[in-house]
Amino acid sequence: MKEFKYTFAVARGVVFEVNYYTLGSNKSAHFSTSAGQFNRPRTDYNQCGQAQESLLKGKAYNFYKKWDKFHLKDLTPAIHAALLRDIEQLKRDYPHFVESDRFSDAVAAERAFRGVTL
């Protein structure tokens, strides 16, 4: 099944990560989400990790609540396909995203959300 890493800018200073990938020597990929809030100069996070309850709102929060039960679980092909469909909707709802979980890419997505160009 297709592995992926997405970071969505969902609010000013807030990003939402949605990942399905194989970590290290694990035998299979696992699904996870996380949320982060940047500090003022965007050099680090003020809050991050399993901070979805406090940082997410609206459609991003609804996605998190729907899919959290699969956190770090093996996905069946049918569940994986449903997840990918929901991610396509997230892409439409939050068009400022990157296919990455790197910090610098998350900052770029959030800057695009705010309309900041370099």
Domain membership of residue 66 as a residue range: 4-114
Instruction: Look at residues 20, 6, 7 and name the one whose alpha carbon lies nearest to residue 110.
Output: 7
pLDDT in tens, 85-98: 999 999 999 999 99
Structure tokens at 12: 């000013």
pLDDT in tens, 49-81: 999 999 999 999 999 999 999 999 889 999 999
Number of domains into which the chain is organized? 1
Cα–Cα distance for residue pair 20/29, rounded to 1 Å:
6
Confidence category of residue 44, pLDDT binned at 50, 70, 90: very high
Q: What is the mean pLDDT of the chain?
A: 93
